[in-house]
Amino acid sequence: MKNIRNFCIIAHIDHGKSTLADRILELTNVIHTVSKEPSLDSMDLERERGITIKAKAVRIPYYARNGQDYILNLIDTPGHVDFSYEVSRSLKACEGAILLVDASQGVEAQTIANTYLAIDAGLTIIPVINKIDLTNIMLDDCYLQLDEMLGIPSEDVLRVSGKLGTGVPELLEAIIERIPPPQGSPDEPLSCLIFDSAYDSYRGVLPHIRIFAGSVQRGDRIMLKSTGKVFEVDEVGYFSPDPVVGQKLGAGEVGYLTATIREAGDVHVGDTIISAKHPNTPAIPGFRHPQPMVYCGLYPVISNDYGKLTAALEKFQLNDSSIVYEKESSGALGYGYRVGFLGMLHMDITLERLKREYELMLIATMPSVVYKIITTKPEELYVDSPSKFPEPDRIDHIEEPIIRARVIVPMEFVGPCMELADSKRGSLIGMEHPDGKRVVLIYDFPLAEIITGYYDKLKSVSRGYASVSYDLMGYQPGDLVKVDILVKGTKVDALSYIAPRETASTRGRALIHKLRKLIPRHQFEVSLQAAIGKKVVAREDIVPIRKDVLAKCYGGDITRKRKLLEKQKEGKKLMKMVGQVEIPQEAFLSLLKLEE
Amino acid sequence: MRGLYIHIPFCVRKCAYCDFYSLAGRQHLVPAYVDALLTEARSYAGLSFQTLYLGGGTPSLLGDRGLRRLLNGLHQVFDLSGLAEATIEVNPDSATTALLETARQKGFNRVSIGVQSLRDGELNSVGRVHNAAQALAALAQAKATGFASISADVIIGLPEQNWGTLHSTIGKLVHMGVQHISAYCLSLEPGTPLAADPPANLPDDDAQAELFHRACSFLESEGFVHYEISNFARPDHECQHNLNYWRGGAYLGLGPAAASHLNGRRFKDRDDLETYLRNPTGLVEDVEILNAEAKAAEEAMLRLRLLREGIDVRALATRFGRANTQGLTRRLREMAMRGCLVRDSTRYVLPADRVLVSNSAFAEVLGD
Query: Is A559–B206 a contact, with Cβ atoms under 8 angstroms apart?
Result: no
- Does residue A548 belong to the interface with chain B, where contact is any CB pair within 8 Å? yes
Q: Cα(A176)–Cα(A65) distance, rounded to whole angstroms? A: 10
Q: Is B281 on the interface with A (CB under 8 A)?
A: no
Q: Is A552 on the interface with B (CB under 8 A)?
A: yes
Q: What is the pLDDT of residue A203?
A: 84
Count the Cβ atoms, other than its own, within 10 Å of residue A313: 19
Residue B331 pLDDT > 90:
yes
Report how many Cβ contacts below 8 Å link chain A to chain B: 96
B351 CA: distance to closest CA in chain A (Å): 12
- For range B222-244, the mean pLDDT: 96
Residue with more model confidence, A314 or B259? B259
pLDDT at residue B204 is higher than 80: yes
pLDDT of A117: 82
pLDDT at A31 over 90: no
Domain ranges of chain A: 4-178, 191-275, 294-367, 372-478, 481-593
Chain B residues 121-140 with a CB less than 8 Å from chain A: none
Domain with CATH 3.20.20.70 in chain B: 2-244
**Other beta carbons less than 10 A from residue A183's beta carbon:** 11
Task: Sort A240 into a burial class: Cβ within 10 Å, 0-12 / 13-18 / 19+.
Answer: middle
Q: What pLDDT, on the 0 to 100 scale, is given for residue A55?
A: 38
Q: Do domains A294-367 and A372-478 have the same CATH topology?
A: yes
User: Could you give the CA distance from residue A182 to residue A162 in angstroms, rounded to a whole number?
Assistant: 27
Q: Are B156 and B204 in contact (CB under 8 A)?
A: no
- Please check the confidence at residue B211 and state whether its pLDDT lies above 80: yes
Give the residue among B362, B315, B314, B319 at the shortest CA–CA distance from B341: B362
The nearest alpha carbon in chain A to B303 belongs to A558
Among A304, A521, A553, the strongest candidate for a mutation testing the B interface, having the largest count of B CBs within 10 A, is A553
Q: Name the CATH superfamily housing domain A294-367.
A: Elongation Factor G (Translational Gtpase), domain 3 (3.30.70.870)
Mean pLDDT, residues A325-330: 91
CA-based nearest residue to A401, from A388, A378, A383: A383
Question: In this model, does residue B113 exceed pLDDT 90?
Answer: yes
pLDDT tens for residues A264-308?
A: 778 888 899 999 999 999 998 877 777 788 999 999 988 889 999
CB-based contact (8 Å) between A525 and chain B? Answer: no
Q: DSSP letters along A38-50, please?
A: -SS--SHHHHHHT
Average pLDDT rounded to a whole number, residues A470-499: 91
CATH number for the segment(s) A191-275: 2.40.30.10
Distance CA B260, CA B289 (A): 12
Q: Does A304 touch chain B (CB under 8 A)?
A: no
- pLDDT value of position B114: 96
Q: How far is CA A259 from CA A319, A343, A434, in A?
A: 16, 31, 49
Comparing alpha-carbon positions, the chain A residue that sits nearest to B7 is A555
Confidence of residue A52 (pLDDT cuts 50, 70, 90): very low
**A37 vs A33: CA distance, rounded Å:** 11
CATH number of A372-478: 3.30.70.240
pLDDT in tens, A154-172: 999 999 998 899 999 999 9
Q: Is B260 part of the contact surface with chain A (CB cutoff 8 Å)?
A: yes
Class of domain A4-178: alpha beta
Residue of B205, B302, B359 lying closest to A546 (CB–CB): B205
ipTM of the complex: 0.84
Interface of B with A in 169-228 (CB under 8 A): 184-185, 187, 205-206, 208-210, 212
Subunit contact B356:A547, Cβ cutoff 8 A: yes
DSSP assigned state of A189: P
Task: Identify all chain B residues contacting A548, using CB atoms and an 8 Å cutoff.
Answer: 356-360
Give CA–CA dist B73/B280, Å, rounded.
Answer: 15
| φ, ψ dihedrals at A207, nearest 5° | -70, 135
Summarize pLDDT for A90-126 with one digit per residue, the tens.
Answer: 888 999 999 999 999 888 887 887 888 888 889 999 9
Q: Do the beta carbons of residue A234 and residue A187 sit within 8 Å? A: no
Q: Which of A562, A566, A580 should be substituted to probe chain B, the one whose Cβ sees the most B Cβ atoms within 10 Å?
A: A562
Of A544, A552, A568, which has the smallest distance from its Cβ to B363's Cβ?
A: A568
> Mean pLDDT for chain B?
95
Residue A556 φ/ψ, nearest 5 degrees: 80, 15
Fold category of B2-244 in CATH: TIM Barrel (3.20.20)
Instruction: Choose, out of B188, B241, B266, B284, the residue to mutate when testing the contact with A (most A CBs < 10 Å).
Output: B266
Which chain B residues touch A302 with a CB distance below 8 Å? none
Please give the full DSSP string across A101-147, using - where no structure is assigned: EETTTB--HHHHHHHHHHHHTTPEEEEEEE-TTSSS--HHHHHHHHH
Report the greatest alpha carbon distance in chain A.
Answer: 88
Residue in A95, A110, A94 with CA at minimum distance from that of residue A55: A94
How close A162 gets to chain B, by Cα (Å)? 48
Residue A553 has pLDDT above 70, yes or no: no
Per CB-CB distance under 8 Å, the chain B contacts of A549 are 185, 229, 355-359
pLDDT single digits (tens) A497-539: 999 998 899 989 999 999 999 999 998 999 999 999 889 999 9
Q: Does A568 touch chain B (CB under 8 A)?
A: yes
Contact: B358, A549; criterion CB under 8 Å = yes
Q: A562 to chain B: nearest residue by CA?
A: B298
Pairing mode of beta strands B347-349, B311-312:
antiparallel
If we measure between CA atoms, which residue out of A150, A90, A105 comes closest to residue A12? Answer: A105
Above 80 in pLDDT, residue A42? Answer: no
DSSP string, A353-379: HHHHHS---EEEPPPB--EEEEESS--
Which of B212, B268, B363 has its CB closest to that of A565? B363
Q: Name the CATH superfamily housing domain A481-593.
A: Elongation factor 4, C-terminal domain (3.30.70.2570)
